[in-house]
Structure 1
Amino acid sequence: MRIALGVEYCGTAFRGWQSQAGGGTVQDALEAALARIAGGRTGVLCAGRTDAGVHATQQVVHFDTDAERPLTAWVRGVNSHLPDGVAVRWVQPVDEAFHARFSARGRRYRYLLLNRPQRPALWQGRVGWFHGPLDLAAMQAAAARLLGEHDFSAFRAAECQAKSPIKIMTQAMVRQCGSLFVFDFEASAFLHHMVRNLVGTLVYVGKGAQPAGWVDALLQMKDRKLAAPTFSPDGLYFRGPVYEPHWGLPEGGDEFLDGVLT
């Protein structure tokens, strides 16, 4: 049987999603909890790997198991064995053709940036921070230039293992809610550090260091060294993959993010 899970986590205390030597990752914690319920090792595959410090409101994973358990066991039971900061939100049996990563036709990210002179305390680790004033209209104009199919090499980390830097950006928006700037991105897929590099570049435009047209030049030159530095992981949230409706998976999972912005 193939099962899909929707998982949320706060990445502050973890070394990222992907399992690695020494443990301490979200995948390590989830697989250990699943093994307690399944009665044996249970490996999972995710929709999108996240770096250390990055959060997720709807990470989707799938796994195969012969263990016959009530569906509630994969939620309540697994959650009882997970550490603070990680929780299974939902469970759904899926067709064996479903793959959490390869069945996704898109992925969504949100970055929360606190813009005030003082660093965050209550939201430490949950938002990025920039101390100087930012021009919303300039950042919106720059973000609009990211839409469409582009070679995003200028926003790609050196260690990125993606086969191609060409991606299709279907959403690139910036809005302001008081002292909080909200960056929303949706694309066919993302390169390593791509969202954090995009936010860094938009902040450079917002603070007046570069014009909005700088984004066009960066896309054309395809040189990571010419773009802005990589922004902090603290404010980055993986909002989940986008699947075709026929898979029947729950949508949403953004109650937390949407609630703080109303």
Structure 2
Amino acid sequence: MTFKPLTLYTTTRRGTSRRARRKKMGLPEPEQTPDYTNWSASQLLKRITDLETQLRNNRIVPVTDPSVTAALPPKKKQKKDRPFDASRYNTRHIALKFAYLGQRYNGFEHHTGNKTPLPTIEEELWKAFMKTRLIFPTRGADLKEGEIDWEGTDYSKCGRTDRGVSAFGQVIGIRVRSLQPMPKEQSVQEEEQGDKMQGIEGNAKEQGSKEDKKPESKPWDHIRDELPYIQLLNRVLPEDIRMLAWCPTPPTDFNARFNCRERRYRYFFTSPAFAPVPGDAGLLTTATGKTLREGYLDIEAMRDAAKRYEGLHDFRNFCKVDPAKQISNFERRIFKASIEEVDVSQAPAGFISHPAFAQSVGAKNQMGGQGDMSIPKIYTFDVNGSAFLWHQVRHLVAVLFLVGQGFEPPSIISDLLDMEKYPTRPKYEMATDAPLVLWDCIFPDHEDIDQSREDAMEWVYVGETGGRETNKRPEMDGGDSKFGKGGIMDSIWDVWHKRKIDEILAGSLMDIVAAQGKRSPADVKLAPVAERSPRLFDGGDWPRPVGTYVPIARKQRMEPVEVVNARYLERKGPYQPKFMRKEDGDE
């Protein structure tokens, strides 16, 4: 059956062109009408039905000719990644040093089955390792979505920071995929050289094809010729978690926790700690008889108190007891405890004071001198020790703040370390989490704590040979994986700059509000401090009103550790966490 092309006719008023009428009605021009001769009966019936509907709605839309559509080439199927064959690769045990800002995370450690409101650092690490296919867990193929099991990866971690706590020198040990040639399989190695980034997304997938092949006669170098672990992981990690270095030769049977002989923490704070009150109404008398303005901290008294932490002591009055660990020995050794003023010409972002970053040739960077660029001043409580109990550092800082505000004398530290005077801990609040940083982890080549505690690990840092991508040529590509295009410094600067602008804006707002109005700060009249509710600084963003301050000596005491442990055993039974030594607590 042959059909003639369907033509639509309409009646128009005299003087009105047919073309204008067709355009007004939304009808297609004759040259736009499809060739209906190749259409099937069902297609024609459907088209007529559509046209009737469109005429009722006073519009007609163009239609694609099915004969033309059928002639189009089929769409190409998306190329699927080849199955990843782990047996083709060697593995090696390495150590990784990395940093993270902890305020967006629910602490470092992940616990299976324990859902948290925020992700943990370990969850992000696991996703990065699996996405880059750098690890081959024993149960890899059987793991459910969201499940984490490090078995088969020789995984170990140095410190378990709490929710909100940051780290700039965290260390893990782990067994990862390597480019080291398999024994008697040089031909396979040549093939791998072309697609060694198999399974890695984004730019990492192109890494192998761009890299020059090495001559067969050249021996494989375990640093220079290895996978760029730092860059592979940083590509897929969140911007506030950055890999900094890797150690290709950790000690035999390396365990990041038990091989670490010293952990170094820093707790940042300012003085004034909160907005001070002007005039005579803001002055108070401290526990040592000094006159101090409310909001400021007595730094010298804090230094006296901090020094008393040093040495081997029982710190049960400076921690939170975890009965699940059944810890009975609370002795820990503190190598150093001090209050240090931050030189704002050197930190933060003080690296630009180096002559290499001068604004122009022959120019000198004007960074200012010690203490003249930061009002209020910035300080840190630096504490280095062999190991720490659960929340120990935040308890140490909390008592220092009580001393600094004049609520307690420095001698309270010595008293709390005396088990005869204080066999149980008084109830006081620990300091807040955000300003605390696990600054570094030290791995000496000996176990004697009286010898030098210098780190003996041979770290390869980002930007060094083995710490950058081998296809990156700084003179050609504009970056060496540390500075320049695509370097780690660019990504960290981005994180810093956002927060720095927030600081500048908030600080400018305070100055504007303080200067507004006709009264000067000297004209402010408030009740004396003694007649107002005191405010207690705990490291947070604002002080807490405490009513009448109760000295530590008169505070209610916690139950003895032995009672807490016994009650837990009676309810839960004995429990020994995996890889947990009985004498080790939770940092």
Please give the TM-score of this superposition, normalised by the length of structure 2: 0.39
d(CA) in 2 for partners of 1:252, 1:68:
18
Once residues 60 and 109 of structure 1 are traced to their aligned partners in structure 2, the CA distance between those partners, rounded to angstroms, is 14
Corresponding position of 1:56: 167
* CA offsets 1:90-133 (integer angstroms, 9 cap, x no match): 111223321111011111100001233349xxxxxxxxxxx711
Residues 220-240 of structure 1 deviation map (CA, whole Å, 9 limit, x = unaligned): 1243325x4200111000012
Which of 227, 246, 255 in structure 2 is aligned with 1:91?
Answer: 246
SS in 2 for 1:141: helix
Q: Runs of 5+ in structure 1 lacking a partner?
A: 120-130
- In the TM superposition, what whole-angstrom CA distance separates every residue of 1:143-185 from its partner, at most 9, and x where no partner exists? 1111110000001112273552100111000123452221000
Match of 2:158 in 1: 47
Q: Match of 2:424?
A: 223
Aligned residue for 2:439, secondary structure, equals strand
Equivalents in 2 of 1:190, 1:252: separation in Å?
27
- 2:226 and 2:391 map into 1 onto residues whose CA distance is 35
Show the counterpart of 2:191: none
Find the aligned partners of 1:252 and 1:184 in 2 and give their Cα distance. Answer: 24
Matched-pair contact (CA < 8 Å) for 2:397–2:431: yes
Structure 2 residue 97 is matched with structure 1 residue 35: no
Give the Cα–Cα distance (whole angstroms) in 2 for the partners of residues 142 and 213 of structure 1: 7
1:22 corresponds to which of 112, 115, 123: 115
Listed one character per residue, the Cα deviations across residues 31-69 of structure 1 (whole Å, up to 9, x for unaligned) are: 22112222544833211110000000010000123x224
CA distance in 1, matches of 2:135, 2:296: 54
In structure 2, how many angstroms separate the alpha carbons of the residues matched to 1:212 and 1:232? Answer: 21
Confirm or deny: 8 A CA contact 1:136 1:175 kept in the other structure.
no
| TM superposition shift of 1:71 | 4.0
CA distance in structure 2 between the aligned counterparts of 1:204 and 1:185, rounded to whole angstroms: 18
Question: Residue in 2 aligned with 1:199?
Answer: 397
Partner of 1:149: 312
**Partner Cα distance (1:163, 1:91) in 2:** 36
Change (3 A) 1:39 1:49: closer
Structure 1 pair 135/155, CA: closer, same or farther in 2 (3 Å)? Answer: same
| Aligned with residue 262 of structure 2, among 101, 106, 119 | 106
The change in CA–CA distance for 1:223 and 1:176 in structure 2 (over 3 A counts) is farther
CA–CA separation in structure 1 for the residues paired with 2:122 and 2:94: 16
* Aligned residues of 2:168 and 2:437 also touching (Cα < 8 A): yes
Aligned partner of 1:240 in structure 2 is: 440
Structure-2 change in CA distance of 1:213 and 1:158 (3 Å): same
Separation (CA, whole Å) in 2 of partners of 1:39 and 1:112:
36
For 1:195 and 1:88, the matched residues in 2 are separated by 25
Instruction: Report whether the alignment pairs 1:2 with 2:2.
Output: no
Letter in 1 for 2:115: G
1 CA distance for matches of 2:229 and 2:319?
Answer: 36
User: Structure 1: which amino acid aligns with 2:310?
Assistant: L
Aligned to 1:68: 178
**What is the SS of the residue equivalent to 2:409?**
coil
- Preserved contact between residue 156 and residue 173 of structure 2 (Cα < 8 Å): yes
Q: Distance in 2 between matches of 1:165 and 1:222?
A: 12
Q: Which residue of 2 aligns with 1:123?
A: none
The residue aligned with 2:356 is none
Opposite residue 121 of structure 2, the aligned amino acid is: V
**For residues 440 and 96 of structure 2, what CA distance do their matches in structure 1 show?**
12
Computing the radius of gyration from Cα coordinates, the structure with the larger value is: 2
CA contact (8 A) 2:247 2:460 kept: no
Q: Say if 2:246 and 2:460, in contact at 8 Å, map to a contact too.
A: no
Go from structure 1 to structure 2 and tell me whether the alpha carbon gap of 1:249 and 1:233 turns closer, same or farther (over 3 Å shift).
Answer: farther
Distance 1:169 1:39, change over 3 A: closer
- The aligned amino acid for 2:426 is K
Q: Which residue of structure 2 aligns with residue 124 of structure 1? A: none
> Where does residue 249 of structure 1 map in the other structure?
458
How many residue pairs end up in the alignment?
243
Higher RCO (C-alpha under 8 Å, 6+ residues apart): 1
Mapped to 2, the partners of 1:163 and 1:77 lie a distance apart of: 43
Q: SS at the partner of 1:211? A: coil
Residue 299 of structure 2 aligns with which residue? 136
1:12 matches 2:103: yes
Q: Look up the equivalent residue of 2:129 and give its one-letter code.
A: L
Alpha carbons 2:394, 2:431 under 8 Å: kept:
yes
Q: Is the 8 A contact 2:135 2:175 kept in 1?
A: no
* Equivalent in the alignment of 1:172: 337
Higher strand share: 1
TM, length-normalised to structure 1? 0.84
Question: 1: CA distance between counterparts of 2:156 and 2:328?
Answer: 19
Give structure 2 stretches of 5+ with no counterpart.
1-91, 138-148, 180-224, 277-293, 343-375, 446-454, 463-488, 493-499, 501-587
Q: Is the 8 A contact 1:5 1:62 kept in 2?
A: yes
User: CA offsets, 1:233-254, max 9 Å, x none?
Assistant: 110000121111585333999x
8 Å CA contact 1:157–1:224 kept in 2: the answer is no
